Amino acid sequence: MDIRGAVVDLDGTVYRGGRLLDGAREGVEALRDGGIDCLFVTNNPTRSPEAYAERLGSLGLHVRPEQVCSAGSLTATYLAEHHATDDVFLIGSDGLREMVADADVRTTDDPDAADVVVTSHTYDFDYDDLTEGLWALDGADAFVGTDPDLTYPGEDGRDRPGSGAITRAVATVAERAPDHVLGKPSEETLDIVRERLGHPLDRCLVVGDRPDTDVALGKRGGMTTVLVLSGTTTRTDVDLDGETPRLVAPVEGDLDPDFVVDGLGDLPTVLHGVV
């Protein structure tokens, strides 16, 4: 198989917290040395592609903003395309608010005036946010989550609640499921991958630490999937004794990865088998 493009996750794959993971630089260099175009795709919605490119640069990886897609930038684009004239009530970080404002999307702090409710990760989420989210969904026409991640990997090795936890909290009290959840593995993310990489998806691979987002995105697009054990998924979550890797815990749908490696530094062993 001639691999020409790679979707690379960030949190738990390239870095964890503020620390570059062992072997991450070597893994990215192996992709580039093989002539494989990289697109870094993260479900973290709190920063813009420019901010992520700067962060990666500070860790020693030169990446251009157009080589990064975040759930936050995807959400801002989605709102501008589908809700350009609506008032958006947003529960989310300052970074997401800035991206939405830069996309010329109109927001409101009045839950009773909301046409669209957007829920996302914010460290400031509290009872008042939950209450106003409930009120906003009473009359809103649309309910959008930035991404489905219930947790994300912290630097200390323990997971932290993510956007999906906040979206589920609001959805539960309102007794209303989101109309749309963006980020991986959504079709909107797949469209960005097609556009940015410009290669047939069956000539691309996905590298990440989550079966329900990274592997699921690859399965949806017909890409080769590589699960790393440096983030949310650990060795106890996979069975490597058979001919092909298998997830131990039952999951909905086929989310067994094509390959499992400890981290990005082991990616050359995969590339030698598929390039």
* pLDDT tens digits along 153-205: 888 878 899 999 999 999 999 999 999 999 999 999 999 999 999 999 999 99
146: exposed, middle or buried (C-beta count within 10 Å: 0-12, 13-18, 19+)?
A: buried
Q: How far apart are CA 74 and CA 182, in angstroms?
A: 7
Half-sphere exposure of 275 (CA within 13 A, CB side): 16
Q: How far apart are CA 56 and CA 51, in angstroms?
A: 9
Task: Chunk the chain into consecutive blocks of 10 residues (it has 275) and report each block's average pLDDT, rounded to whole numbers.
Answer: 93 92 96 96 97 96 97 98 97 98 97 98 98 98 97 85 98 98 98 96 96 96 96 88 80 85 94 76
pLDDT at 145 (0 to 100): 98
Predicted confidence at residue 275, as pLDDT, reads 59
Residue 155 pLDDT: 80
Instruction: Report how far residue 208's alpha carbon sits from residue 6's, in angstroms, rounded to the nearest whole number.
Output: 11
What pLDDT does 63 receive?
Answer: 97
Which pTM value belongs to this model? Answer: 0.94
- At 141 the pLDDT is 97
Distances, alpha carbon 105 to alpha carbons 51, 52, 153, 267, in Å:
20, 22, 30, 40
| pLDDT tens for each residue of 231-254 | 998 888 888 887 788 888 766 678
Q: Which pair of tokens denotes residue 230?
A: 């440096």
